[in-house]
Amino acid sequence: MEPFVTLHSTGVVLPLENVDTDQIIPARFLKTTDRLGLGTNLFADWRYDAAGAAKPEFVLNRPEAKTAQLLVAGKNFGCGSSREHAPWALLGYGFRAVVSSEFADIFRNNALGNGLLPIALPEPAVDRISALIAREPAARFTIDLVAQSFALPGGERFDFHVDPFARHCMLEGVDQLGYLANKEPEIAAFERTRAGVS
């Protein structure tokens, strides 16, 4: 996992609530056994027409979206299916952070575990950021995971909170499996106390 410390990027806005993981990456692309290569089909059914051509009106097909590493979306982002292919697809496209007023539980976990930062901000803050991007698509935002702050170009800041353990793992670029694997003695002891319990 690539460490995440700070991000300085433009943003794109998907002004929709309840964006489900079936939209982020449709199920027909889940027949892969790899975690790479999913970025091309991120939001496939909103992004491409029936012939496979990019729909110009979709936000990710606008020129300014090509280099944006920050996605701003409506509430309850990532609801539905538990597919980790969703954060893999977002990362594959080039996003490193998503802002929303609320994230679905499984998506948030999956994102954090892969170095995609879910930034939960109050709705008015999300609205302010969205409005700014609409006005100035070239506006660059600064995300600081150490300080847990999201800064607008003018210096205005919003604080956000990330689970301390997930934050530690993201800052260091380590995944959570190593930590769990070190718990082996405790796990074995626990199992001994539960002998005979199905």
Partner 1 sequence: MMQTTPRTLFAKLWDDHLIQPESESTPAVLYVDLHLVHEVTSPQAFSVLRERGLRVRRTDRTLATMDHSTPTTPRGLDGRIPVVDVQARAQLAQLEQNCADYGVPLFTLGSEHQGIVHVIGPELGFTQPGMTIVCGDSHTSTHGAFGALAFGIGTSEVAHVLATQCLLQRRALTMEVRMDGVLAPGVTAKDLILRLISEIGVGGATGHILEYTGSAIRALSMEERMTVCNMSIEAGARAGMIAPDETTFEYLAGRPHAPTGADWDVALARWRTFTADEGASHDRTVVLDANSIKPMITYGTNPGMGIAVDAPVPTPSQLSDASERRALEKALAYMALEPGEILLGKPVDVVFLGSCTNSRISDLRLAAAAMRGKRVASTVRMLVVPGSQEVKRQAEGEGLDEIFRAAGAEWREAGCSMCIAMNGDELAPGQYAVSTSNRNFEGRQGKGGRTFLASPLTAAATAIAGRIADARTIVGGR
Amino acid at 158: F
Q: Which of 15, 37, 124, 173 binds partner 1 (CB under 8 A)?
A: 15
Shorter beta-carbon distance to partner 1: residue 1 or 152: 1
Site string for partner 1, 38-57 (x = CB under 8 A): -------x----x-------
Q: Does 183 bind partner 1 (CB under 8 A)?
A: yes
Q: Which of 165, 172, 173, 174 binds partner 1 (CB under 8 A)?
A: 165
> How far apart (Å, rounded) are the C-alpha atoms in residues 152 and 99?
13
DSSP 93: H
Q: Which of 4, 19, 164, 168 is nearest to 89 (CA)?
A: 19
Q: Does 156 bind partner 1 (CB under 8 A)?
A: no
Give the long-range contacts of residues 89-93, CB within 8 A, separation 24 or more.
89/24, 89/25, 89/29, 89/38, 89/39, 89/41, 89/42, 90/24, 90/39, 90/42, 90/116, 91/39, 91/115, 91/116, 92/36, 92/37, 92/38, 92/39, 92/40, 92/42, 93/39, 93/42, 93/60
Q: Which of 11, 109, 118, 158 binds partner 1 (CB under 8 A)?
A: 109
Q: Does 22 bind partner 1 (CB under 8 A)?
A: yes
Specify the residue for token string 């920050």: 70
Q: Does 76 bind partner 1 (CB under 8 A)?
A: yes
Q: Does 154 bind partner 1 (CB under 8 A)?
A: no
Shorter beta-carbon distance to partner 1: residue 38 or 65: 38
Q: Does 16 bind partner 1 (CB under 8 A)?
A: yes
> How far apart (Å, rounded) are the C-alpha atoms in residues 190 and 188?
5
Amino acid at 94: G
Q: Does 144 bind partner 1 (CB under 8 A)?
A: no
Q: Which of 39, 61, 62, 80 binds partner 1 (CB under 8 A)?
A: 80
User: Residue 182 is encoded by which pair of tokens?
Assistant: 């070190």
Site residue total, partner 1 (CB under 8 A)? 55
Amino acid at 62: R
The residue ranges that bind partner 1 (CB under 8 A) are 15-18, 20, 22-23, 26-28, 30-35, 45, 50, 74-76, 79-84, 102, 104-106, 109-110, 113-114, 163-165, 168, 175-177, 179-181, 183-184, 186-187, 190-191, 194, 196-198
